[in-house]
Structure 1
C-alpha cells in the first residue's frame, strides 16, 4: 500500500482584496500582491503622499486593488497588518545604502569566469512609482468610478433576479429580452453623464459622438454585462436572443464574451475609448450629419484614454504580457464589429439602437 502525503497548504482568501492566499503576512492572511503593497507603503513619508479621490471609502477587491492606494493601505491596517512584524528595519537598510562603496566593480561568477553583473529590467509592479503619473491615476480612477455608477450592471442583476422569480416556462421570453436590451443599453450610455471630457464638448459634438459610437459602445458594453452576469449561460436567454438578433450575431457575441480579458478594469477602459471613437465605419446611419466642430479635441481625448490603457497594462503586467493583452483587445473589437454587422441584418437591433440614441441624446444633449 502506497502512503500518500497530504499537503499542509490550506487555500484561503486574502483579507485585503479577496484574492487567493496561502500564507499569513505581517499578521494577516494575505496574497503576495497585498504583502508587497504593504511592505512598500508603510513608511511615514510614503503614506503622507497617498490620497483618496472618493471620500476615503473605496471598496478594495481583486479587480480594483491598484486603483486607490490610500484605501488599500487603510484596509491593510484595519485587517490587522503590523509594521513591527516586518523583519529588519528600513532605517538599518538605509544606513547600509549610505555606506561608501569601493571603486571595484561588482562581479558575479558564471561558468568559472568573472563577468560584470547583469541587473534585470525594473519590474514596474514592485513600485507605485510607475508609468502613470498622479493625474493619470486620477483619470483612471474617475473613468472606472464613472462606469461602475452608470455601466448598466445593477439593472441586469435586477433583471436576472426578477426573471428567476418567475415559473420556468415564463422566464427570458422574447418581449422581456427586447425590453431588457433597450433599458440596459440606454443605462450603459449614461457613462457619458459624469464624464468631464464629454461634458466639455459642444452640444453638436456630444450629439455626434452619441450617434457615431452607440453601436460599438452598446455591443461591447452590453456583452461585457452579459459576461459579468453569465446571462449567456441561460439556455432560454440565448434562444430568445437568437430569435431577436439571429444565430450568427449571438454566436459572435458569445465568442466576444469568451475573449474578454479577466482584468475588468481594462475592459472598462476600452469602453471609454470606444465612447470617443471617430472611425467612420461605425457611424449611426440615421443621423443627418456627422460633422464635428472640434474633431482634433475628440481625437486627443481618445488618444489620451488609449495611452492611459497602455500605461496601465505596462504597470500591471510588464511589456510582453501587455502586448499580448492589447492584441487580444483588438480581436475583441473586431468580434464586436462582426456581431454588429450580423445583428443589423434583422430589424430588432437597429430598432433598439434607434431607441437608445434618441433617449440618450434627449438626456445628455438637449437638457444641457
Structure 2
C-alpha cells in the first residue's frame, strides 16, 4: 500500500529534481513525476539471509570449531599482561637499570607459573588420561606450557626490551636461559590464536622426551596421547589453511615446529635451575590435587 503524507507547508522542493513538491512518497519529499518514475522502476528484491555454518568454506567441522574455541580460551594471559604493563610503566618513569619494585617482579614470576597451572587444569583432554598416566605426563606438560606461555607474554608485552627486567631474569635463571628465550621469541607468530594452538600442541608433545631426575616417563597409554596430539595438529593445520591459504599455512606451520624445537632446548636448560624446578614441583603437585578432587567428584556423581 502506498503511503502519501501531506506536508503542513504549502510548497517545498523535490529532493530528487528540485522542482516544487508538497508530498512525501516512499519516505522522500518528491514531485509527482519522480514518484511515478521510481514506482515504475523500483526493484522489490528480498534480502538473502545467510547461514554462517553453511557458508563456511573451511575444512573445520563443527566439533573442530568447538575444540578450537576451547583451546583458545583455555589460556588466559590477561592478568600476567597487566602485571607486565605495570612493570613497564614503572621502569619507564624511573629509568633505572635495576628493578625498582622487586615485589612486582616476584608477582610476575609467580603469575607465570599460576597461569600455566590454570591452563593445565582447564584442559579437559588431560582428564581423559588415567590418574597414573596423567601423573607421569603432567610434569613435562607443565614445563612446556610454562616455557612457551612465559615467552609469549614477554613478546606480547615487549617487556623483554627493558634492561631492569632482563637483569632480574639473568639473576634468577642465568644468562644462557635468557639468551635461549630470546631465540624462541624470534619464532613467536604474531597471530595470537596460532600461538595458543601451538601451546596446546607443545603441552602434549609426549614424543619429545627430556631426561630429568624429576620425571619418570613410561610409554603407557601413549596411543591416547598421540591421538590428542594428532587432533590438535589437525585443527591447527586446518585453521592455518582457513585463514592464510596453503602457501602461508606451510610457512607458518614450519615456523611453529622451529619454535617448539627451540622451546624444547630452553626447557632442557631449565632443569638445572633450582628455583625453577622447586616452583615447578609445587605447581605440578597442586595441579595433580585438583585433578584428583575432580576425579573423586566425578565418581561420586556417577555412583548416585
Q: Is TM-score (shorter-chain normalized) higher than 0.5? A: yes
2:48 pairs, out of 36, 39, 43, with 43
Q: Which has the larger radius of gyration?
A: 2
The equivalent of 1:153 in structure 2 is: 78
Q: Spell out the pairing of 1:96-245 with structure 2 (5 A cutoff).
A: 128-148=56-76, 152-158=77-83, 160-161=85-86, 164=89, 168=94, 171=99, 177-178=105-106, 180-245=108-173
Q: Spell out the pairing of 1:32-71 with structure 2 (5 A cutoff).
A: 43-47=48-52, 49=53
How many Å apart are 1:144 and its aligned residue?
Answer: 0.7
Report the count of equivalent residues: 246
How many Å apart are 1:309 and its aligned residue?
Answer: 0.6
How many Å apart are 1:133 and its aligned residue?
Answer: 1.5
List per-residue Cα deviations over 1:199-239 (Å, max 9, x = no partner). 23222232222112222211111111111121112210011
Structure 1: stretches of 5+ with no match in the other structure: 1-41, 51-126
Give distance in 1, aligned partners of 2:148 and 2:85: 20
Give distance in 1, aligned partners of 2:237 and 2:138: 25
Q: Spell out the pairing of 1:310-329 with structure 2 (5 A cutoff).
A: 310-329=237-256
Give distance in 1, aligned partners of 2:109 and 2:205: 22
Give distance in 2, aligned partners of 1:175 and 1:238: 16
Are 1:352 and 2:279 an aligned pair?
yes
Local SS of the residue matching 1:326? helix
Higher helix share: 2
Which of 1 and 2 has higher RCO (CA within 8 Å, sep 6+)?
2
How many Å apart are 1:164 and its aligned residue?
Answer: 4.2
How many Å apart are 1:245 and its aligned residue?
Answer: 1.1
How many Å apart are 1:284 and its aligned residue?
Answer: 5.3
Conserved in 1, the CA contact under 8 Å of 2:99 and 2:168? no
List per-residue Cα deviations over 1:257-307 (Å, max 9, x = no partner). 2321111111100111122221252365324x4336532112101110011
Give distance in 2, aligned partners of 1:189 and 1:278: 18
The equivalent of 1:246 in structure 2 is: 174
Conserved in 1, the CA contact under 8 Å of 2:88 and 2:162? no
Cα RMSD after superposing both structures:
2.7
Conserved in 1, the CA contact under 8 Å of 2:184 and 2:263? yes
1:331 pairs, out of 258, 265, 269, with 258
Give distance in 1, aligned partners of 2:102 and 2:175: 14
Local SS of the residue matching 2:51? helix
Structure 2: stretches of 5+ with no match in the other structure: 1-46, 296-304
> What TM-score does the superposition give when structure 1 sets the normalisation length?
0.60
> What TM-score does the superposition give when structure 2 sets the normalisation length?
0.71
Conserved in 1, the CA contact under 8 Å of 2:84 and 2:157? no
How many Å apart are 1:308 and its aligned residue?
Answer: 0.8
The equivalent of 1:124 in structure 2 is: none
Local SS of the residue matching 1:318? helix
How many Å apart are 1:129 and its aligned residue?
Answer: 1.6
Give distance in 2, aligned partners of 1:207 and 1:220: 21
